[in-house]
Structure 1
Amino acid sequence: MSFSSSDDDGQQRFALGFLFALITLIVATVVGVAVHKSGSARAPKTVAAAVAAEDAASVRVENGVVKFFFATAKADLAVGAAEALADVVKGVAEGKKAMVSGFHDATGDAAQNAELAKSRALAVAEALKALGVAEDRIELKKPEQTEGSGSNAEARRVEVALSAS
């Protein structure tokens, strides 16, 4: 009988070990799926954030040219416009002119885009006036090629550069 009792104990240990391994496998699978889904859920938010950032107003200074980028169908200046225009204001005070040129993207109605590019250029000119630049020191110049190249976000811009009087 003792042989039979020891055989039963071995089967019970095997069954408990198997059950423990099965529970561990199920828990690991559930945790893995949860982690995978939470990682997937973040991807669209990241893409959405990138798209939103691309369509937000911004301003950059590149090689002495101040570039204002605008959100789709908007003419609102980005935060930091006054700081970006500081060198332009200084250059105008030294006798130069501020050349303001507006560009637009290739989407939508061409006439509306041209009008929006003009509104954006006027908004930048108004910002220069608010910083003390005399109106006769600001020149609005329609570029030969008003439709910007590159991405639509890059194309929706106004550039401000200094030129000799």
Structure 2
Amino acid sequence: MSSSSSDDSQERFALGFLFALIILILSTVVGVVVYKRGITPAPVASSIAAPANMPAAVEIVTNVEDGPSVRVEDGIVKFYFASGQADIAAGANDALADVVAGVTAGKKAVISGFHDDTGGAAMNAELAKQRAFAVRDALMALGVTEAQIELNKPEQMQASGSNPEARRVEVMLSAD
């Protein structure tokens, strides 16, 4: 009887050891996955740089779905909007400073709105118009008169779905 009891004890020990080893391996794998996900920063639209082989005028835009943003690229101020919204991003006044200076020097601010092809065409054109008016109002709040602003008719982008590039308003200076 003692050898049977000893064999049962050894089997229990072996099974317990095997079970503990499996738990250790699983927890290590899960821990590594959680650790790697935890230290990888989420992409932020304002901190993403274009790859080195891209032209300087192109900027990668991501995570604009979360809210409005504004960027200045080669003298063009680009306002990006959340889907279905016409709220201007914080920092608009700083981004428009060069435009205001150009208007003061005798140039005209040209505002162009864009929209994608999702939803109704009339609704998209109206939303692009509201976005352009919001940017116009921001310029006027900085002292630019309505006579110094040219509003272009909204243009449809050849993009579908939730495309941040299609939900934008651009402001540039013209010689007029």
TM-score (norm 2): 0.71
Counterpart code for 1:93: T
Contact 1:92 1:133 in 2 (8 A): yes
Which residue of 37, 48, 53 corresponds with 2:63? 53
CA distance in 1, matches of 2:108, 2:13: 84
Give the 5 Å matches for 1:15-164: 18=14, 21-32=17-28, 34-35=30-31, 38=34, 53-55=63-65, 56-142=67-153, 146-150=155-159, 152-164=163-175
Counterpart code for 1:147: Q
State the 4+ residue runs in structure 1 displaced beyond 4 angstroms. Answer: 10-17, 36-39
CA distance in 1, matches of 2:163, 2:19: 54
CA distance in 1, matches of 2:64, 2:171: 21
Deviation of the 1:36 alpha carbon: 7.3
CA distance in 2, matches of 1:157, 1:121: 9
Contact 1:88 1:161 in 2 (8 A): yes
Contact 1:82 1:131 in 2 (8 A): yes
Contact 1:129 1:135 in 2 (8 A): yes
CA distance in 2, matches of 1:148, 1:63: 21
CA distance in 2, matches of 1:54, 1:100: 20
Identity of aligned residues (%): 52
Rg (Cα) greater in structure:
1
CA distance in 1, matches of 2:174, 2:77: 13
Secondary structure in 2 matching 1:83: helix
Contact 2:64 2:80 in 1 (8 A): no
User: Gapped runs of 5+ residues in structure 2?
Assistant: 46-61
CA distance in 1, matches of 2:105, 2:122: 37
Cα-to-partner distance string for 1:54-82 (whole Å, 9 max, x where unaligned)? 31211111111101011111000011111
Deviation of the 1:28 alpha carbon: 1.1
Contact 2:64 2:81 in 1 (8 A): no
CA distance in 2, matches of 1:147, 1:36: 46
- How many residues are paired up? 152
CA distance in 2, matches of 1:112, 1:71: 15
Give the superposed CA RMSD.
3.5
**More helix, by proportion:** 1
Contact 1:106 1:152 in 2 (8 A): no
CA distance in 1, matches of 2:33, 2:152: 52
User: Gapped runs of 5+ residues in structure 1?
Assistant: none
Deviation of the 1:155 alpha carbon: 0.4
